[in-house]
Amino acid sequence: MYNGRAVDANTKRLKPWRAHVTGAAVEALAGRVGFAPDTEIAVLYDFYFTQPKTVTRRRPNVRPDLDKLERAISDALTDAHVWADDGQVVNSHTQKWYAETPGVHITVLELA
């Protein structure tokens, strides 16, 4: 799980954020080899955002967009060699939540 503010657009904050996520993925691999190029993969993304004090809605239905968040993480996981190419992802499920600690929890599964 990466704890830190999610960044979704090509700003000067994106590169350092992606590098941090890449480092966390390399650490999570703990020396194991990533998925082979012909592996079909499913990914579950849970993004956590700090809820502003003035916001009463249950979940963050505002920016950043899910597709941009997914793309940033997928690129970081490619850089970490979790898989050969993010085109291997054939199924994904993404959610945004409010939480006390911002971050992202990523589950990567091989499909049989």
pLDDT given at position 2? 47
Which stretch of DSSP H or E encloses residue 19?
helix 14-29
Residue 6 half-sphere exposure toward CB, CA atoms < 13 A: 31
Instruction: Report whether 55 contacts 110 (CB < 8 A).
Output: no
Q: Where are the beta strands (DSSP E) in the chain?
A: 2-3, 41-49, 89-98, 103-110
Domain boundaries of the chain, sorted by first residue? 2-110
Instruction: Report whether 9 contacts 69 (CB < 8 A).
Output: no
pLDDT given at position 10? 59
pLDDT beneath 70, residues of the chain? 1-11
pLDDT given at position 3? 52
pTM beyond cutoff 0.95 = no
Structure confidence by residue, pLDDT tens digits, 46-73: 999 999 999 999 999 998 899 989 999 9
* CA dist., res. 104 & res. 95, Å (int): 10
**Helix, strand or coil, per DSSP, at residue 88:** helix
Fold of 2-110: 60s Ribosomal Protein L30; Chain: A; (3.30.1330)
The DSSP letter of residue 4 is S
